[in-house]
Amino acid sequence: MSTARQQVEALLDFIDKSPSAFHAVKNIKKKLILFGFKELKETDKWCFKPAGRYFVVRDDSSIIFFVLGSKPLAETGYRILGAHTDSPSLKIKPNALIHSDGLLRLGVEIYGGPILATFTDRDLSLAGRVSYKKVDGSITSQLVKFDQALLRLPNLAIHMNRMVNEEGLKLDKQNELALILSESVAEQLSSKSLDKLLATALHIEVDSILAWELNVYDTQKGSFWGDRQQFYADSQLDNLASCHAGLQAMLNEATLVADNTLVGAFFDHEEIGSESTKGANGCFLPDVLQRIAFALEVDKEDYRRALAQSFMISADMAHAYQPNFPLAYEPEHKVTVNKGPVIKVNANHRYSTESISAAKFIHWCEESEVPYQTYSHRTDIPCGSTIGPISSAKLGIRSIDVGNPMWAMHSIRESAGVEDHHYMIKVINTFFSAE
Ligand code: ZN
């Protein structure tokens, strides 16, 4: 089996075990611990060992991990790989239960910008975090994931929606997104039906549950497809594929003995604008970078010198060309699946790329024998953004936005190319290892 295929199998396994940003961070933590990383709490005083490996988690769904380099921080700066742990989804409303017409449905709110039509007729289920009171009165939380399909959003039959193929499937956000959980029966009419499900799954008392955050996910596992199985499909490729590539690029013993201080920063809340305590527009990364410097007894002046020496790759997926929709793309900037990582450029700085950061990335691609492509959005369609411009602006760090080409971004079933994942791991590894 090729290395690329194995790496994508590992990616699909990671995604299938990570149906929420909380689960993604839990699985990243597990992997880091295997490689000798130690957890630091933000509430503790930080002390480091030379060449130490550490990670910090904020609110269970954003994580920053780092390896201390052997050279002085002010001379090397930080090598940062940024990505995001969240994906567009439906989240369950707090008073979720809707009993009507003999059915029990769950009310949902839209998180980020999912392609809503793709959520119909899928084997959906729930995952997230539940907070509850323990017997001793203290409050704790656990992650929950239902493996079996629990929920469904059935389409309307074409006989009642005759123009669906001409006009597309339009779902009214307020009235047409509630998900069917069950028939409605008398014993469910209390507001506790969902809490009962959660309590059973977590082996806790129903009345101990205080609050939760739950998102909908697709239970269908990742798969390979294409005549040579050269493509793969799963949910949340945006952006767990970039998290996985960044993690794989750092986690090998040769890279982990580094001259430079290496940092991976994976944030929740990118899909809703990054403005939160744990989002890229919050203080998490500046706090951690500063605390690393101060724990190493680097003064403020040298911390600023370190930032000025630093470089960040912001990795987030890119839009692959889909030949059925030629008019959606900028003609000279079609990027193709399995042709290498994409450098994203936008004159209005929706992407942080500039010519010097692009040149450096191209150099690392050449060194790794990895092909690369360049993307620019159509001039007449608004361009999306990501964490690159936000993080680099907050810190004054030179940065580039790159990502692997994929189809159907924000569908519940996205797809991409097997070779590209391998290429991305290779080039990020070169970035971490380069002088
Ligand atoms: Zn993204």
Tell me if 129 is assigned to some domain.
yes
DSSP conformation letters of 120-184: TTS-EEEEEEEEEE-TTS-EEEEEEE--S--BB-PPPPGGG-TTHHHH-----TTTS--EEEEE-
Q: Name the band, by pLDDT with cuts 50, 70 and 90, for residue 188.
A: low
pLDDT digits (tens, 9 = 90+) for 21-63: 999 999 999 999 999 999 999 999 999 999 999 999 999 999 9
- One domain for residues 251 and 113: no
Q: What is the pLDDT of residue 385?
A: 81
One domain, residues 285 and 208: no
Distance (angstroms) between ligand 1 centre and the Cα of 221 equals 20
Ligand 1: centre distance to CA 409 (Å): 8
Residue 201 pLDDT exceeds 70: yes
User: Which has more pLDDT, 434 or 129?
Assistant: 129
pLDDT in tens, 127-177: 999 999 999 999 999 999 999 999 999 999 999 999 999 999 999 999 999
Asked if residue 69 belongs to a domain, the reply is yes
Same domain, 79 and 97: no
Residue 106's CATH number? 2.30.250.10
Range of the domain at 248: 3-87+235-433
How far is it, in rounded angstroms, from Cα 237 to Cα 88?
Answer: 11
> What is the whole-number distance in angstroms between the Cα of residue 119 and the centre of ligand 1?
18
- Centre of ligand 1 from the C-alpha of residue 84, in Å: 7
Q: Same structural domain for residues 58 and 99?
A: no
pLDDT class of 189 with cuts at 50, 70, 90: low
User: Is residue 154 in a domain?
Assistant: yes
Spacing, Cα 200 to ligand 1 middle (Å) = 34
| Tally of domains in the chain | 2
Same domain, 167 and 251: no
Give yes or no: residues 64 and 169 share one domain.
no
> Are 186 and 267 within one domain?
no
Q: Is 130 inside a domain boundary?
A: yes
Average pLDDT over residues 222-231: 98
Distance (Å) from CA 273 to ligand 1 centroid: 11
Mean pLDDT of the region 6-32: 98
Q: Of all residues in the chain, what percent carry a pLDDT higher than 70? A: 99
Residue 407 is assigned to a structural domain of this protein: yes
Q: Which amino acid is at 399?
A: S
240 shares its domain with 357: yes
Q: How far is the CA of 80 from the centre of ligand 1 (A)?
A: 17
For 299-336, the pLDDT digits (tens) are 999 999 999 999 999 999 999 999 999 999 999 999 99
With a cut of 90, say whether residue 190 has pLDDT above it: no
Identify the pLDDT of residue 388: 86
Q: What is the pLDDT of residues 366-383, one digit of tens each?
A: 999 999 999 999 999 888
Taking all residues of the chain, what is their mean pLDDT, rounded to a whole number?
96
Q: Is residue 17 located within the same domain as residue 158?
A: no
What is the distance in A from the centroid of ligand 1 to the CA of 383? 12
156 lies in the same domain as 300: no
Looking at the structure, tell me whether residues 254 and 392 fall in a common domain.
yes
Residue 373 has phi, psi (to 5 degrees) of -135, 165
CA of 314 relative to ligand 1 center, distance in Å: 10
Residue 43 DSSP one-character state: T
Confirm whether 308 is domain-assigned: yes
- Domain annotation covers residue 355: yes
Domain containing residue 379: CATH number: 3.40.630.10
> Same domain for 277 and 129?
no
Residue 230 lies in a domain: no
pLDDT of residue 101: 93
Rounded Cα gap, residues 390 and 280, in angstroms: 7
